[in-house]
Structure 1
Amino acid sequence: MLIDVKGTSVLVTGGCGFLGSEVVKQLSRGGSQVTVFDNLSSGRESYILGQPGVSFIKGDLTDESAMIEAMKDVEYVLHLAALPFIPDSYYYPRDFFTTNVNATIGLALEAIRKRIKRFVYISSSEVYGSAKYTPMDENHPTLPQSTYSVSKLAAERVVYTMHREHDLPVVIIRPFNSFGPNITQPYIIPEVVNQLINGKKDVKLGNIHSRRDFTFVSDTARGIIQAMITDGINGETINIGTGKSVQIRELVGIIADIMSHEPSITIDASRIRPDDVETLICDYSKANRLLGWSPTVSLRHGLEVTIDWIRKNGVAIKTSFRGWPATYRGSFDNNFAE
């Protein structure tokens, strides 16, 4: 579904990442001039190579001069750059706040100075914590259960306050669990697929009883771009998700069926998060009302596309830090990218 963005100039932070690269692809196909700013700590430049109208600047948001240079000729900012993997935040809380909060403040201040037309901040459904009711609308209590989700909520509060104080034209997007190709982190779907591809008959996982709302990456990216171009929504917070959930145990069954495997599941205590969110189910009625957005890709079809991509490309996970202490990255060791 092509969105016409001809004549726009857009900065996409984190544009070489999983979700960012899909946003860049859709912007490019829609006719936008796109500047990608990414430090390549987990993203891959190859994910955006050859896209018409796309230029790449390697840099870190904590480098103020590099960030200002990246914003020089743009009208819109889509801010996706972040440290995103929840278990990593347990070990590196300061890094998560430096990147996810402090760097966001710097970016927002420059956006105010340059009078950017729209600043879209990509948050996370994790800011809600486990569901108190379902489906979860934007008025659901925000009770984050990890350092990562606290950092995302803090950045939300900052950019919204800047909207109130300085007229920052911000829209906050809360995507529920996105999945698809161009994998950069060991999330649950590539984790399961990778174990099965490597011939594991016994899939090792943590909490298999939690429920998640999985949205295919192209749908999530389309919602982000609609938030960029839709008039009259400054200051709004908008959920992006399917309104359907699946238990992780059930998800394994669907993946195994697509791959023609019949694995057993073993609970690996080292993979269980200290305060895991049990249930996330999106109410996307606000996105539908304000953006005209609704999901188009089913879970099974999205999984088929993702599995096919993994079979062709493998899963090579970069790291943002040195010396990972967590065993959940072990299944990726054979494909580890330095």
Structure 2
Amino acid sequence: MKLTNKKILVTGADGFIGSHLVELLLEENCEVNALVFYNSFNSWGWLDAFSKEKLDKINVVAGDIRDPNNMREITKNIDIIFHLAALIAIPYSYFAPDSYVDTNIKGTLNILQAARINKCEKVIITSTSEVYGTAKYVPIDEFHPMQGQSPYSATKIGSDRIAESFYRSFNLPICIARPFNTFGPRQSARAIIPSLISQLCSGKEEIQMGSVHPTRDFVYVKDTANGFIEIAKSDESIGQEFNIATQTEISMGDLAQKLINLINANAKIVIDEERLRPVSSEVDRLLGSNKKIQEYTNWKPQFTLEESLKCTIEWFKNPNNLEKYKTNIYNK
């Protein structure tokens, strides 16, 4: 499938991955409709950082995926939907699980219902590597069992399976993109890499973090966004689930030390009890297989961890970017 001139809807376009995806879709010469979360401040999230030239090429629409009528109206005449809007912070899901059900499960249902009514050509649903829980074997492929180790991951499992049911029950042309731990410019401080970099760039020499033993498969955001696009382009991707992973891993402790070496060699790691997850909820190891996505699409990672971290650090060193991060508090 060629994306040129296709009418695209990106939900969660105001967010981290969504804003990067919008930029790449513009390069594909798509007609991009960017759904941002409605708010009385008229904030468009990270889209507000775009140049006027870019914004003039985007149709920005404010709405809420929790409203089914809103979604039916917004998806009219749309060819392809990239559904990224979600609540994603794991610690906050311990305190507000109802919100995660309403947004991640019911919100996805609303998108699927709207896409079915409006006969969209393709719907790409955003999953997460957290649905797998702690690895039972590595590399984790798409057949790996799923385990809800947090309310967040449980709701993402639910949204994945709702999407699958619409494919099997109604022949809705869906596919599921499952990024592993994406990082890069614009990511919120609720994630480990921006939390560490923002603390280091603000001059702190005691860097607070949670568990240092878990491992993660980190994917640079441009590689993740490109993965979405390649999945959308593939004529064989309908009804399929795809990991977007580098098939490499690093522990949280080694990652922190790497960042310390790159920014401030005098800094020390301090374990913050508040940042530790409940033992049975912590995902100890995530290492994803990217065999399937490379078989079905033209995707492969373009950025190494080292160069990706350096690009991310440079973005944070810009005072206009760093000032957006509250490095004195724990962002859940």
Structure 2 length-normalised TM:
0.92
Give the letter aligned to residue 44 of structure 1: W
Counterpart of 1:330 in structure 2 is: 329
Aligned partners of 1:37, 1:252: CA distance in 2, in Å?
34
Counterpart of 2:290 in structure 1 is: 284
Counterpart of 2:48 in structure 1 is: 46
Moved more, 4-13 or 305-314: 4-13
Alpha-carbon offset, residue 329 of structure 1:
7.5
Aligned partners of 1:239, 1:332: CA distance in 2, in Å?
27
Counterpart of 1:154 in structure 2 is: 158
Aligned partners of 1:186, 1:287: CA distance in 2, in Å?
28
Alignment of 1:253-268 (within 5 A): 253-268=257-272
> What 5-or-longer segments of structure 2 have no aligned partner?
none
Indicate how the Cα distance of structure 1 residues 193 and 139 shifts in structure 2: closer, same or farther if over 3 A, else same.
same
Q: Secondary structure at the match of 1:44?
A: helix
Aligned partners of 2:325, 2:118: CA distance in 1, in Å?
36
1:123–1:174 CA contact under 8 A, matched in 2? yes
Give the letter aligned to residue 246 of structure 2: T
Q: Secondary structure at the match of 1:233?
A: coil
Alignment of 1:53-64 (within 5 A): 53-64=57-68
Deviations 1:183-223 (A, max 9, x none): 23421011111111222211111111110000000000001
Deviations 1:96-117 (A, max 9, x none): 0000000110110110111111
Counterpart of 1:272 in structure 2 is: 276
Q: Secondary structure at the match of 2:34?
A: strand
Alignment of 1:1-338 (within 5 A): 5-39=3-37, 43-50=45-52, 51=54, 53-274=57-278, 275-312=281-318, 313-314=321-322, 316=324, 330=329
Give the aligned length.
322
Give the letter aligned to residue 45 of structure 1: L
Aligned partners of 2:152, 2:45: CA distance in 1, in Å?
18
Aligned partners of 1:135, 1:262: CA distance in 2, in Å?
35
2:67–2:110 CA contact under 8 A, matched in 1? no
Q: Cα RMSD over matched residues? A: 2.0
1:137–1:284 CA contact under 8 A, matched in 2? yes
Aligned partners of 2:231, 2:58: CA distance in 1, in Å?
20
Q: Secondary structure at the match of 2:227?
A: helix
- Structure 1 runs (4+) deviating above 6 angstroms are none
Aligned partners of 2:300, 2:178: CA distance in 1, in Å?
14
Aligned partners of 1:129, 1:171: CA distance in 2, in Å?
21
Give the letter aligned to residue 314 of structure 1: L
1:163–1:235 CA contact under 8 A, matched in 2? yes
